[in-house]
Every structure is written in C-alpha cells, then in structure tokens.
Structure 1
Amino acid sequence: MAIQHALSSPCSSAVSGKRGSSAAAGERHGFRGSQLRFGYRHRKCGRSLQVFCCQPAPAAATEMEGVAGALFERPWKTKDTRLVLQDGSVWNGKSFGASGTQVGEVVFNTAMTGYQEIITDPSYAGQFVVMTQPHIGNTGVNFEDEESSKCHLCGLIVRSLSDRVSNWRATQTLAEYLQKRNIMGISYLDTRAITRRLRNDGSLNGVLSTDATKTDEELLHIAQNWTIVGKDLISGVSYTTRHEWEFSKDAVAACDKLQVVAYDFGVKHNILQRLASYGCNITVVPSNWPVSEVMKLKPDGILFSNGPGDPSAVPYAVETVKELLGQVPVFGICMGHQLLGQALGGKTFKMKFGHHGGNHPVRHLPTGRVEISSQNHNYAVDIATLPEGVEVTHVNLNDGTCAGLTYPAMKVMGIQYHPESSPGPHDADPAFFEFVQMMIQNRLLQ
C-alpha cells in the first residue's frame, strides 16, 4: 500500500488596503523603538478591519526577539513524530509525553470532558485514543479523578494540547502526567479528518513513533502485521491478588451491608465507588480467581466488570461466568455484559468502530425510557444468537445493537454501557440500585 502524507491546512490570512506606519503608535503600545503598521479593509456593510503588525526598528531587533518569539511561535511547524495508519496514511505532529515507537488500534472518543478518566480507563489497553474535542489539557490532571492506578492505553491523539493549566485541583500538566507514565502522545493533527476516516473505514491499526531512523514503510509494515483480535488484554490490567475495596466517603446505606465480589477484568474505580455508596462491602478478585474460593466468601452478588479487548480471547473468564450462573445474582458491565452473553449461549462480534464517548442514546425497552450513556467498547452481543429466556432490555438507538440483557430465571442482568459514567451523564446510575434490589430479594428468599 502506498504511503499517503496528510497535509495540515496552513494558517494564513491576507489584508489589503491602505497601509501606514507610526513610531508613536509603537511607543504607545509598549514596543519601544518599533513601528506599528496598520491597514484597513472597507466592506459593503460599512465596517472596517484594523490589523496591527509589529515592525521593530534595527536597533530594537535584539530587544524584540523574545517578544516576537512568544507572539508568533507556531508549534505546529515543529513536527517530530508520526502516526502511520494501516491504510498507508501518514500524519505528522508534535510529540508530547513519552518517546519511542508504539503500535495499537486507533479509536475515537466523542466525550467533551473527562480526558483523565479516559486515559486511566483499563478498557483502552491496546488502543490509541483520538479525542474529537479539539482542545485537551486545560484542566491538567489530579490524583482524585484516576480510574485506575496506571495508564493502559497506547497513546493519546489530540488536535491542540494546552500547556497551561487552569484548575484548582490540578497537580501537573497532561504532558507531564503522560511522560511520567511512559505513555506517548501526539498533537497538532487533523483529528476531524482521522475521525471521519475511522468512521467510514472502521477502526485501523496505527503506529506512533518519534524515531526518525525508521522509515514510513517500516512503520506501515508494523501496523499492517499487528492485530488486537484474539489478544488476552485482561490479564495485563487485572489485579493479581484479592483485596477489599476501601471507600472513604460516607456511604448511603440502602441495605444491611451486602457482600459483593467483583471480578476485575479491568474495573474502573468509580464502578466500585458507586456500589459502595449503596452500602455494599466489596471484595475485588483477579480475573482468573477460582469459583470455589469466591463462594467461600458467601457473596450476596457477583459483579463482572468492564475490561479491554475481545471477550472470545478469554475463554477462562467465560467458563467462570458459566459456573457462577444461578448460584447468586450477577451483574455484568461492558466486558462483563459480553461475557454474560457468551456464557448464556450467545455470540459476540467486533463492531466497525465501536462506541466510545459520553453521548450515546440507549432505550430501556420495558419502559421506553431513553438514557444518554457513557460507552467504551468495540464488541457487542449478537441479539439473534441469544437463546430463549434471555431478554434484551436495552438497545442502542444509533445502531440498534444490544445494550442490556436479563435472564430472570438465573438472576442475571447486564448492560453494555457504563452506569458509573466517569466521565459522562448519570442517567444509568439506577442500574446499581436494581442490582442491589435483586440481591436483597434473593437474600429474603433464603
């Protein structure tokens, strides 16, 4: 496949009309020893445009050098990194974060805010995230908004990176945060053009590199010979030991401390926090934790968390879900929902470009209620393959894919989106309450 270089649109403008110069104007505006040239463009509506241009006198050239550099710096002119997509397109930009060469799947996220929650979401393991919001980084980063203790994504792709932070909770800039965590980033790319390409052609593999010694053809070869399909990404993001989830804020006791075991397939902190806020004690276990050990804890319910990648790549997790069905109430979120679909006899499929963002409409079929949801997945449950008795409770209004299911006979519920909404709207938060009510009713029957 031929290499295609994507060119950025230059920022240029032209002003015509009479021009003059004024040393006095230069002094008045603080540019000592300089002149300000100004021109006018007359329009039919009677308005005029006045443009000031600083022209330093020869004696003031040295003094004005620093000022001119600050005023007229064009960072997009300094491009030191490349994004090479598997379709042969090459996108040149400016590096921020770590240096090196990284390969992954490129997806786009339509969230307007919450970039820190996005980059710390374990579900993005193996992926580059293109932010459709053009200006990223203006609120910096802090430790309270992290969804996990690490950044698992391959890299961040943005249009414009803010190097100035304006938020009272911020502790460092986004670039500093990524660099300390060895995560790559690239800015000054046409993210709208990349997003349209992904939307039309589907998710693409990409290679991000700051290595000038590697040719475009070498990077293209890497992108075309890598795949995310079939990779067990869960084992790389899951905890390796059992631990109790500690939630310091005051919990709203909706029950008498229900005991919940959460299987960590890449769980986000806010999922656990929302469950804890309903008065649940939560024990987090690794993705491969034996069912026999889980049942020794005498749980009132099991949570199958979100996670990255292909559910078919983790058959051990599907077998775990099968073994737990019917013993206690279970709740699956995102990856957990897909594992439930397979465990119940259904199949999953890879979507064209997935759902990533905080503005996806979902309809609750029993009531007709519409929720605006936060989603992050590239796979979905095939509705046509679900066996009799499994009810589809939610559908995505954009493409009709399965967004929720239930199997009352085995006390099973699952949703494809994120009820904790971090980031995103809180329309889906009642899903946690439904799970709590299911556990309470099951306890009363025993």
Structure 2
Amino acid sequence: MVGIDLYTPVEKAMRVLRTLDVDFYDVAATYSRSISISIFGRGIREAISKVDIGLGVRAFKNKGLGVAYTQSLDESDIEETVRRAVKYARAAQPDPYFKGIPGPSRAQRVPELCDKEIVDLTIEETIKIPRNMIDACECVRRGGMYRGGFSANYTKYSLMTSTGVDIEEEKTAVSASIQPVYREGDDVGSSHEFDYGVRLSDIDPYWIGRRAAEKAIEQFGSKRIKSCMLPLILSPEASSTLFMSLLLALSGERAVKGRTFASNLIGKRITQENLEVNDDGTIPGAIASSTYDGEGVPRRPVKVIKDGIVLTFLHNSYSAGIINVESTGHAIRDGYRGHVDAGPSNVKVNPGDSTLEEILHETKRGILVVNASFSPNIVSGELSTTIDEGFLIERGEKVFPIKNLMVGGHILDLYKNIDMISKEGRIFGGGHFFPSIRIKEARLSGE
C-alpha cells in the first residue's frame, strides 16, 4: 500500500553476499510507520509519529553466525553491513545444533492483514480515538483520572535467503486501552479495558471506555480476605495469560534445550481430557496471522494440546533442527535487527460445556478473577501474582470485590486443577479465543 521499495536494497545485499565465502545467509528489510497517543490525567499527554526503516543481514560460516544491520539504505552502507556480518560469522564459535535455514515453499496468501484506513490515518484523526474513550468513561461516571493510549502501525517486510526464499508482506495493527481511577473519600475504584486488531474497525473506543468505567465502579468497597484454598474462576482476560504462558514455554530453543518448565511435557497429560488448544497463524484478518513466518516457512494450523495432552513444541528451523523435526512455522524475526526466535501466533482454546453462569452456580465459595497475570517464572514454573480485580463468590453470587489477594504455586498445578470450561469466551485481535475456566483449588494469600 505504501510505495516504499524494499526489494532493491535487499537484492543489492544479496548480490554482495553471493560473491563472498559463506555457507548460508539471509537479508531482511522492514519499513514501519506508527502513530501513538498517550492518555494521562484527564486528557492527551503526548502524540508521537515515528518511522523506522532498516536492513539486516545474517551470515553463517562453518556453523558460526554473524549479524549486522543498518538504518541507511545507501548502497555503500548496505555493502559495509554485509561485510560486517560475514566478518562476524567467520569469527563466531561454531554452533553444533545449527542445521541450515529453510528453503522456499509455496503458500496461499492470508488475506485481510492490511487496512488502508490505518495506512492513511493522520495525527488529527488519531487523537479523536483516545478522546472518545475518555468521553465514554465520563458518560458512566465523571471526575476520573485516566491512563492509557492508542497506537496504529503499518509495516512492510521483505526477506530473501541463500536457499531461495523471496517474500514480501504488509501488515497493519491497532490497539487501544484505558484505565480509569475514581475516588469516593478514601475508597478507590479502578479497572482496565483494551482491544486490538489489524483493522481500525476492530476497536470500539466507546465500548472500551464504557466497559472500563463500569468495571472500575464495581471495585468500590473492596475488602481483604484471609489466606485460604479456594476455587478460581478466570475471566477470558485472565485465562489468556495462563494459556499464553504455557505456549511461550513450549516455544523455540529454550523449550527443546530443557530451559523451561514445559520442556518435558510432550506426550504428557497436564489437564482435564476435554481441553484442546490450537495455534493458527493463517486466520484472515487476525493480529498474529501472516502468510509466512519470520524465516519464510508457511504458516499452518497446529494442534498443541488435545485431550489434555501436550503434543508439540512450537518451532523455528533452529529449534526443529535440534530434535530433527520440521519447523512448525513459528519463527519470529525482530524486524531488520536479525534476531530470530519462536513463539505462538493466534491461540484458540476450544470452548467447554458450561456457561459462565453455570460455572458460578456450581461454585459454593470461590474467587472470580477479572484481571490478573498468570505468568510464572519460565524456567521453574513457579507463580506468584496479585489478583488486580476480582470478587468473592458465594453460592454463585458476587459478594464483594477483593483486594490484596495473591495466587501462589506452580503453574502446572493450576492446569491439573482445571475442572470447568465455559462455552462462551472472548475473541482477541480477531484470532485469539479464550473461554472462562474454573480451577477447582488454588493457594491464596490474603490477610
């Protein structure tokens, strides 16, 4: 959509590399343009427009890797960058796990990933969106103090490799969030709401503002409870962090080299039999979709958990080579800067058999977790997190909002204790789907 030529500078770098004594190489160039608006207090704090462009080279010699990048696309700077990468590769220690880089594969283009409305956005148009979120909050309750913001991004990406990969993709992304804080004497009500996607129409600033304000008001009168063992009912926002933490721990080099809590889980049942988790980077119009991954491997749907059993790691070509399997198409490249990692794309947890109302009704006493981050230590799996928003539940009803309550333990113990999954859930970014879940018992630290 934007007339930026990345093909020519990438091809210039490739021509130089072809004349040098290296085993494998790739060249990536990206152009990105972003607009971001930050909210502070009762208005707009700042508006920033930024353009970033650059070209990066990875060169491999005798299993050694050299990386260099430049933010100049002048021919002399490109050649100097290529020669630096090759110099570093020749000096690098050999990596015995390196098997090569992927070759070309044909793939059907994933549609609806670039929105012209975002590409054409101006600062003046952008500022209206956070203002609309503030106005929506004020319609629910006046006098709040706010934090949050809005961002829109367009990225164009080009990749060529010595093995014949030659791809170019464009993508847009947009996100918005707001956190209202209201006061009644010494009492404080605060919450947070957000949304994101690839199209401007994927977010509704009025809904975000209204929902954030309504949730904040519900937090007035929060109380502490004593330390105990209770069931947890996780909202989709909270359950998303639990599932994403597991998939991150199943991704890439760290996972296959035994450096995460999930490294030894392949083939093991970790939770109830009806839990299924899929990863799919081919969903049209979804935030984590693309036709190819960061190494030019076609994206494809991958079943990660079936019947409660972990089936696979999420691989780039390097981690796949370590255990002699194929890449799953989950390489993530840090733009033109050269680093290639692995991670999940669009994560979908299959819905269960119960409505949220039925889950609450089945809970004699427990905690409804509205907002919390279930992100453990990625090596040990140990978890200690604060429930930022939640309610004490008794006989299926909200009794009062809770505060200063922490969840502790091992993340896999939480998975073992999942006993109910909701039919309904929330779609995030047009591709992720997370239901509400109940964890039948968790260790809570309060008073």
Q: TM-score, normalised by structure 1?
A: 0.26
Higher relative contact order (CA 8 A, sep 6+): 2
Select the structure that is richer in strand: 2
